Amino acid sequence: MRTGPEQREPAGSPERSEALAEPVRRVGRGWVALYVLANAGVFIPMHVPTTFLMPEQIAQIDPAGKVGSYAWVSMMGAISGIVIAPLAGALSDRTTGRLGRRPWLLAGSLVCVATLVLTGLQTTVAGLALGSLVLSASFMVIGAGLSPVVPDQVPVTQRGAVLGWAMVPQAGALIAGGLLIGLVTGFPAQYALISGLPLLILLFALTMKDPPLSRAHREPFSARAFLDGYRISPRAHPDFVWAMGSRFVMGLGYGMGTLYLPYFLGDVLHYERLFPGRSTEDGLLIVIGVNSVATVSTVVLSGRLSDRLGKRRMLVFLGGLTMAVAAVPLALSPTWTMTLIAAVVLGLGYGVYLAVDTALVTEVLPASTDRGKDMALANLMTSLPYVLVPPIASLVLEGPGGYSSLFLCSGAVSALGALLVWKVKSIR
């Protein structure tokens, strides 16, 4: 296993900056707990609006064209990340103030809070699209400060365990968020309730120690340097390129299988007819709850196991392949029972994949001077597929097979993403 990413030193700098050094001191339980809370402040506001609230808002605003409108709103959110994520990451890497990367967490959190409140007041598809765009941008700004924290401060031998705990909020975001918004009624109140969660990010930002980057080690920034940051040489950094490719393909497969689940429950399973007196949203919450429990049951264990065995590729492959398998029975037998079984299998695989893949990525970053930008690019590979999922899914759903074809495509693409991780050669 590699001991860390290539360390590129600025010309004329005889000593390494503390901010760029490969971490060797293990982080404590208090640090991990606050980092987990910060991730809860990110993932719940990130996923709950797009899964529960926006689809229902769109269905009320444009019931006849809800599939196309939802695709447009989802694409607006994903597109904003294409520019904002690498830009924010690159600027974060060049932040030399005494607060380190913390201003990115502070600014992004405050914008996120305001955007959530305003999105709850929207009554047009255009307004929701704008809200989706700005909300996504705020998460990219937060990510510029939060994503590099692990490669900045956590030693390689502890990353699987730390990321395993940190991914619990992501795994349980939808069930926790679904329960939260169930406490109040009406979109304005539900968005307002969710808007309090980014304050957890502020708690982490105000308490963490983040050594500032010295001006002597700051890389020059220009428009050309920023655009060059999009180009990662496959020849110079093949493992990072393959890791990003695997992530992108896995994200595409996962999105194809899950993005239209609310409409699948209503239009194919006819959940409200199966269970009179219950809403489709109730069914969605049950599926998400089952999936979340399954994910949480494996995410911490798999992260710790990858640290002990030092075999991250095998676990990423097994997790991805399990996710692919989950789509097949649902495609062949689209029933409520099979939906729950598929949710369990998908969750078990996703839990194994989630933390270990992120730990793998932190070990193949091209340079310590670009951790923020490169982690942004890697994270972009999980959100960028959602630009492609809506048009692809729309075409598949209009063809023969409908949702069964969509789930089969999801399984095939996920299997391909799992296979691609074997192209990463420097990690066991």
DSSP secondary-structure letter at 148?
Answer: T
Judge contact between 54 and 187, C-beta under 8 A: no
Query: Any idea what DSSP says for residue 23?
Result: P
pLDDT digits (tens, 9 = 90+) for 166-197: 999 998 898 899 889 989 999 999 999 999 99
| Closest alpha carbon to 232 in 96, 94, 376 | 376
User: Which residue type, as a one-letter code, is found at position 355?
Assistant: A
pLDDT of residue 217: 67
Give CA–CA dist 314/298, Å, rounded.
Answer: 15
Q: Report which DSSP code applies to 183.
A: T
What pLDDT, on the 0 to 100 scale, is given for residue 303? 95
Based on C-alpha coordinates, what's the Rg of the chain? 21
* Tokens representing residue 212 in the block: 């500032």
Contacts 24+ apart (CB under 8 A), 127-134: 128/54, 128/57, 128/58, 128/61, 128/73, 129/72, 129/73, 129/76, 130/76, 132/49, 132/50, 132/54, 132/73, 132/74, 132/76, 132/77, 133/76, 133/77, 133/79, 133/80, 134/80
pLDDT score recorded for residue 85: 84
End-to-end CA distance of the chain: 6
- In single-letter form, the type of residue at position 171 comes to A
What's the CA gap between 345 and 324, in Å, rounded?
9
Q: What is the pTM of this model?
A: 0.81
Question: In whole angstroms, what is the distance from residue 57 CA to residue 127 CA?
Answer: 11
Joined tokens for residue 91:
């600027």
* Residue 388: Cβ within 10 Å count: 16
Residue numbers in the chain where pLDDT is lower than 70: 1-21, 214, 217, 225-226, 228-230
Q: Cβ(48)–Cβ(116) under 8 Å? A: no
Q: Which residues contact 206 (CB under 8 A, 6 or more apart)?
A: 102
Taking each continuous run of H as one helix and of E as one strand, the counts in the chain are 20, 0
